[in-house]
Chains A and B, each alone.
Chain A
Amino acid sequence: MRYAMAIDTKKCVGCSDCVVACQIENNVPVGYCRDWVTETVHGSYPNLELELRSERCNHCDNAPCVRCCPTGASYIAEGGIVLVEGDKCIGCGACIESCPYDARFSHPEGYVDKCTFCIHRVRKGQEPACVSACPTHCMYFGDLDDPASDISRVLKNRKYKVLAPEAGTKPQVYYLV
C-alpha cells in the first residue's frame, strides 16, 4: 500500500477551501496551516501562464525529516504516511530544517506538526479533508499500489511533476500539468 495525492493544476482555481477544510478538521492553531496554495506566473504580459498548486507535506519515500529525528518521533506509518508522535518530540527543530518544502512547523504547544494526509479519516475509509472539500474535484487521493484506484488511473493518463525532485526526497504529492 502506498498512499499518494495528485492535484490537477489545470482544474484548481486557488479558492483555498482545502486550507480552511484542513484547519477546521485538524483543529490547526490560528495563524498556522498544514496546507497552502501557491500561484506561479510564467511569462510577461500579455503572454502569461498561471499555475495554481495546493501544497502540503509530500510524505516522501526518502523522508529527510524521519532520518534526522533524534528520538524517532517522526516516523513512517502505514501506506508511507509520514507522521509525528507529539509525546516523543522534543521540539529540536531538526526535521523543520531538513524539509525542502517547509511543510513542518512548531506547534504552539511545542511539538512539531504537519499534514497527516488525514490518516484518522483515511483509516475510516474517508478521503482527507482537503480532498473532500475541493469544489472543483481537482484532488485525487488513494493507493498507488492499486491499479484500479483513481490516483493510479489519473497518473497513468496525465503528465505530472513533483516538487524539487532534485532534493532526492521522492515526494508523493503529484501535480498534474
Chain B
Amino acid sequence: MNEEIIISGRNIPMVDPHLNIWHWPISVYLFLGGLAAGILFFAGLYTILGRDKNLPTAVKWSTFVAPFALVLGLIALFVDLKHQWYFWRLYTTIRIESPMSWGAWVLLFITPLSFVWSASYLGELIPGWDWKLGILKRFDRWVQANRLPLAWIMAILSLILGIYTGILLSAFNARPLWNTALLGPLFLTSGLSTGAAAIMWMSGKKDERQFFTRIDLILIAIELFFIIHLFMGFLAGPEVQLEAAELFLNGPFTLPFWGLVVGLGLILPAILEMLELRGWKIPAALPALLILIGGLLFRIIIVEAGEITRYLY
C-alpha cells in the first residue's frame, strides 16, 4: 500500500482538492471559437473556389453568426480571467512558445475581419442599405474589390483559430488527458463540423443544404476516427494517461462522453443526415442542433476531466 496526504493543511481555492482554475466560460469560448472558425473557413474556402453563387449561405449569410460568436467568446474569456484589467498585457508581447499568445493575436485580427466580411454583404441582405458616411462607403467598396485576398487571409486565420482551441489544451503536459498531439486536429475537425452544421441549418437551398450535409458527414467520420485513436494512444501510454482514459472508459465521464457526445452528438446526427440524403424528410435543425449541443458538451467534458488528471508522485 502507498498512501499520501498533505499534513500541513492545504485547501487553496481552485487548486485543491483537484485543479479547477478554468470554468465553463472557457469551454463556451472553445465552442464559439471553433464554430466561428468553421463558418469563416467555409466562407473563405468557397470564395477562393468561386462558389459564392451556388453556396450563398456558406459564403454570405452564415458569416453574420461569426462576429457574434467571437465577441461572445471573447467576453467569456475575459470573464474567466482573474486579473482582468491587465488583459492588454497580451498585446505588449508575442510569445512564440505560448499557444495562448498565438490565440490572442489571431483573435485580434480575425474578429474585426469577421465584422468586415459579413458587413460587406449587408447591402445584399437588406435592399437599399446605405452606409451613409463616405468613408464607410469607400471602405465597403474596397472590401468588395478585395474579397479574394481577404478570403485567403480568413481561411488561414480560421484554421489557426480552430486548431488553436485544441493546442491550447494539448500544450500542458501536466494534464495527461490533454497532453496529446491529436487534440488540436480533433478540436479543429469538431469546430469545422459545428460550422458546417450551422450552415446546413441556415441554408434555404436544398442543394447547398445537401452539400453541407455531406461535408458534415465526412467531418463526423474523421472526428470519430480521431476519438478512437485518442483512446488507443492513451491505452498505449504511460500510467498517467491510462488513468486519464479510465475516467472515460470506466469512470464518471463514461456516460456523458460516450452517450451524450458520441451517441447523441455525433452518431445520431450522422444517421439522421444519411437518412436525409436518402430522401427522408428530416428538418435540418434536428441534426444541426444535436451537433452543436454535442460540440459544446464535448468541450465542457474535456476541460472538466482534463483538470482532474494529473501526475501522481
Q: Which residues of A contact B (CB under 8 A)?
A: 14, 16, 19, 31-33, 35-44, 52, 64, 67-73, 86-94, 96-102, 104-106, 109-112, 163-164, 166-168
Contacts and interface: CB of A to CB of B under 8 A. Distances in A.
A37 B173 CA distance: 24
B258 to A, nearest CB: 25
Contacts of B89: 71, 73, 88-90
Contacts of B97: 67-68
Contacts of A164: 311, 313
Contacts of B95: 69-72
Interface in B77-98: 80-84, 86-87, 89-90, 92-93, 95, 97-98
A33 B174 contact: no
Contacts of B10: 33, 36
Nearest to A49: B2
B7 A37 contact: yes
A33 B8 contact: yes
B1 interface: yes
Q: Shortest 10 CB-CB distances between A and B: which pairs?
A: A91-B82, A91-B83, A110-B83, A70-B100, A37-B8, A70-B101, A16-B8, A93-B21, A100-B174, A71-B89
A40 to B, nearest CB: 4
B98 A67 contact: yes
Given A101-B311, A105-B13, A109-B83, 13 more contacts: A32-B13, A36-B10, A39-B5, A96-B21, A98-B174, A102-B16, A105-B15, A106-B13, A106-B82, A110-B82, A111-B82, A111-B83, A112-B82
Nearest to A33: B10
Contact of A90 (B5, B87, B175): B87
Nearest to B312: A164
Given A91-B81, A110-B82, A111-B83, A44 B1 contact: yes
B11 interface: yes
B5 A70 contact: no
Which label, helix, strand, loop or mixed, suits the secondary structure of the A interface? loop
Contact of B8 (A36, A90, A167): A36
A42 B2 contact: yes
B275 interface: no
B8 A97 contact: no
B286 interface: no
Given A164-B313, A167-B173, A70 B13 contact: no
Interface string B293-312: 00000000000000100110
14 contacts: A19-B8, A33-B8, A35-B8, A36-B6, A37-B7, A41-B2, A64-B173, A70-B100, A88-B86, A89-B83, A90-B86, A94-B172, A100-B311, A163-B313
A48 B86 CA distance: 51
B240 to A, nearest CB: 8
Nearest to B175: A97
Interface of B: 1-16, 19, 21-22, 80-84, 86-87, 89-90, 92-93, 95, 97-101, 104, 171-175, 238, 307, 310-311, 313
A109 B82 CA distance: 8
A31 B11 contact: yes
B307 to A, nearest CB: 7
A86 B12 CA distance: 19
A91 B11 contact: no
A100 B8 contact: no
Given A31-B11, A72-B93, A166-B311, A42 B1 contact: yes
Contacts of A36: 6, 8-10
A19 B8 CA distance: 7
Contacts of B12: 31-33, 105
Q: In this complex, which of A87, A96, A109, A168 has the most chain B Cβ atoms within 10 angstroms of its Cβ?
A: A96
Given A64-B172, A90-B89, A167-B311, A70 B7 contact: no
A158 to B, nearest CB: 19
A73 B22 CA distance: 19
A69 B98 contact: yes
Contacts of B83: 86, 89-91, 109-111
B173 A71 contact: no
Contacts of B174: 64, 97-100, 167
